[in-house]
Structure 1
Amino acid sequence: MDIQRIDLDRPGDLLAGLHDAHLAAFAHLQGPRMSLPDFTRMVSRGLPGDLMEAWAVVEDGVVVAGYGLELPMSDNTHLGRLRPLLVRPGRRRRGLGTALLAHAADRLRTAGRRLLVAEGEAKDPAAGFARARGFTASLGEARRMLDLRTADWHRLERMLGEAEARAGGYRLERWIGAAPPELHDDLVLMMEGMNDAPQSDDVDDMKWDTSRIAASEALDSEFAQLTYSMLARRDSDGAPAGYTRVYVDLAQPDGWGRQADTVVLREHRGHRLGMVLKVSNLLWFREMEPDVERIITWNATSNAHMLAINEAMGFELIDEWNAWQLEV
């Protein structure tokens, strides 16, 4: 078996072929399909500053399997993330996945790292494959969807009014696309606050600074992701308190919006700011993107507070996933 490295500076047809294999491998899932720009970002760029590799298996001129590997450099330098490992359905049960996993583990050891992490469905065959090869489930995750065509908008507006009554002393700021530089310091605090969310064992907090924020914002624009962001700020001193954002994939106008980060910093909790931010941003997003029909979100199944907000808004469960870990 020939496992070819994809030159991420000049990927040619291999990266497009790996994207096509990705679409085939995950065609059974509900939810939006990943566009080629979004996939390219995932396997070739990752988070700003991280090292990226991508590998493919080609048979009869077709990419039939492969994986991306992300090696964090600013934090978590003991691990690597699969982005992801995949095999076309018609080529499974021939040892391709096992060979690719062994290859990825070897690449990780070569980089001086010991922990391989991945995300995959919590049910078979993905879960069976992972467990049979020594992975352990470290964090339960769930995908939920809000259908904007059938959402109870009157109820959402009423919920927002009730939450705003508890959130006196705060104001909201909003913007489309990349955040202006004067907000980068605030966004550092927001992204560091995301470290409070449940995460896998043996995974360290992520480190952020203004240069990493700027690079991440630039990647959104480069790869055709248009974000609608909202920040809560305390009136008395201007302190940033919470943040949320939703985005659309401009390369694939498929009727889906994607809920990304939502956070309220510890000292500002207890004022219903999470509900205020998410519902306010949703109402604005609906006004600006009338062709979007559904929004998808991911949460740890142990994040009870955020799950309660999402369920109150009308998000419904699609499926459950696991964060998997393998010591190599």
Structure 2
Amino acid sequence: MTAAAWTVTPLVLPDSVDSPEAWALHGVAHLERLSEESTWGHADLYSPARTRLTVMRNQTHTEKVALVATRPPGAGGPSPDDVVGVAFLWMEREGNSHLVQAGITVHPQVLRSGVGTALVRGVEEVAAERGRTTVIFETDHLGEPPADAQDVVTPPTGAGRIAGDAPGVAFARGLDYSLEQGDRFSCLRLQDVDPSRVDTFLAESRAAAGEDYELVTWLDRCPEEHVEQLASLSTLMTTAIPVAGLDLVEHVYSVEEVRQREQASLDAGRRSLVTAVRHRPSGELVAYSEIVLPADAPAAAFQENTLVAPAHRGHRLGMLVKAQNLVELRTLRPGAERLHTWNAEENRHTLSINEALGFEPVGVVALWQKKLG
């Protein structure tokens, strides 16, 4: 895959970030940081080269591939500055074995030059080689147009607006991708959070839950007596949240995969704070919420999965686990400044909890899908 000014090739993982062969990996990390700062105004979401290498090496349950667009090298040989685009591909080995999920990043200086198109075509080629029939990729959009805006694009769910002239819209449509869902990207500025307000939410949700429910909190590794139930909740998470028209199916988590994910997170320098709810009469875990804490970005934290089992909804367990995690976060990472999260725009119940806690909308992540012929 070549053009006059650049070439797209698979990223070859170096032995270490200090290896001369790591130039492309460092170029990718620099490009990601540039893109995140340009879009969101901070670099919380980018992965340093060392973290990216650790994540890419872990191929146990998900095959990970990166395609890199580079300029021709100069007289001194290839360098990180030669990287002008990257596509990351994630392919589950079980469950969604028909699917490629991708992230596309192009250097601002070469937008609309064909780099992005070549990267998506490369993603589709990999999908075809692997016998996969659906590709999903994202585009990021700062802010959201008002409800009365005229030139907007909205997914079939009716929730999650992006400007019709936003970068990425014509790009995705021109490649025959359909907008299927919009995720709200939100941020809680932790220094502005009133601890007494969180404590009040915690007390109120404890009272609403009643004596049948108790909290269980752990760091990094789920207690052995709960890990099978966590695997079941993780499986439920793959189907119990809104997925709109995305071609997603259940992914069944085993205890082995839960343990592997925990270790992989630690290997990548990411700690995991989890609060769960145990239903005393049955002894089962019926809700959980996770916050991830990256070592390389001490000002940032990420609100990841939150789930309440359908049979136990209506007891304010969602607010309970989130409020307890915020209390735990005060001690575990007192210097954290921003807590980021993503939720389907049609998931009004979860968004309401987030808004009550003080999360504010930052933008929309558009999910584009194409079924390959």
TM-score (norm. length: structure 1): 0.93
In structure 2, relative to structure 1, the CA distance for the partners of 1:40 and 1:141 (3 Å cut) is farther
1:20 aligns with 2:35: no
1:81 maps to 101
Deviation at 1:277, TM superposition (A): 0.6
**How many residues align structurally?**
325
Deviation at 1:13, TM superposition (A): 2.3
Q: For 2:25, give the aligned amino acid.
A: L
1:179 maps to 222
Q: For 1:235, give the aligned amino acid.
A: R
Query: 2:14, 2:22 within 8 Å by CA — same for their partners in 1?
Result: no
1:58 aligns with 2:70: yes
In structure 2, relative to structure 1, the CA distance for the partners of 1:41 and 1:140 (3 Å cut) is farther
Query: 2:90, 2:100 within 8 Å by CA — same for their partners in 1?
Result: yes
Q: Distance in 2 between matches of 1:324 and 1:44?
A: 27
1:142 aligns with 2:184: yes
Q: Which moved more, 1:272-281 or 1:68-77?
A: 68-77
Q: Where do 1:101-250 residues align within 5 Å?
A: 101-121=120-140, 122-123=162-163, 124-168=166-210, 169-194=212-237, 195-201=239-245, 202-250=247-295
Percent identity over paired residues: 26
Choose between structure 1 and 2 for higher RCO, CA contacts under 8 A separated by at least 6 residues.
1
What residue ranges of structure 1 are gaps of 5+ in the alignment?
Answer: none
Matched residue SS, 1:13: helix
Q: Distance in 2 between matches of 1:109 and 1:70?
A: 14
Matched residue SS, 1:86: strand
2:88 maps to 68
Deviation at 1:153, TM superposition (A): 2.4
Deviations 1:269-318 (A, max 9, x none): 11111111100111111122110112111100011111110011111000
In structure 2, relative to structure 1, the CA distance for the partners of 1:79 and 1:287 (3 Å cut) is same
What residue ranges of structure 2 are gaps of 5+ in the alignment?
Answer: 16-20, 141-161
Q: Where do 1:40-51 residues align within 5 Å?
A: 40=53, 45=58, 48-51=60-63
Q: Distance in 1 between matches of 2:230 and 2:185?
A: 25
In structure 2, relative to structure 1, the CA distance for the partners of 1:43 and 1:88 (3 Å cut) is farther
| Runs of at least 4 residues off by over 3 Å | 8-11, 37-46
State the structure with more CA Rg: 2
Q: Distance in 2 between matches of 1:323 and 1:40?
A: 26
Deviation at 1:185, TM superposition (A): 0.2
Deviation at 1:183, TM superposition (A): 2.6
Q: For 2:67, give the aligned amino acid.
A: W
Query: 2:96, 2:248 within 8 Å by CA — same for their partners in 1?
Result: yes
Deviations 1:219-248 (A, max 9, x none): 110000011111110122311111011121
Deviations 1:68-95 (A, max 9, x none): 212221111111111x111111122211
Deviation at 1:41, TM superposition (A): 5.5
2:9 maps to 4
Query: 2:343, 2:351 within 8 Å by CA — same for their partners in 1?
Result: yes
CA RMSD of aligned residues (A): 1.8
Q: For 1:237, give the aligned amino acid.
A: S
Q: Distance in 1 between matches of 2:25 and 2:221?
A: 27
In structure 2, relative to structure 1, the CA distance for the partners of 1:129 and 1:53 (3 Å cut) is same
In structure 2, relative to structure 1, the CA distance for the partners of 1:109 and 1:92 (3 Å cut) is same
Deviation at 1:33, TM superposition (A): 3.5
Q: Distance in 1 between matches of 2:290 and 2:190?
A: 17
Q: For 1:24, give the aligned amino acid.
A: L
Q: For 2:10, give the aligned amino acid.
A: R
Q: Distance in 1 between matches of 2:370 and 2:265?
A: 30
Matched residue SS, 2:192: coil
Query: 1:8, 1:53 within 8 Å by CA — same for their partners in 2?
Result: no
Q: Distance in 1 between matches of 2:120 and 2:92?
A: 19
2:351 maps to 307
1:287 aligns with 2:338: no
Matched residue SS, 1:26: helix
Query: 1:8, 1:54 within 8 Å by CA — same for their partners in 2?
Result: no
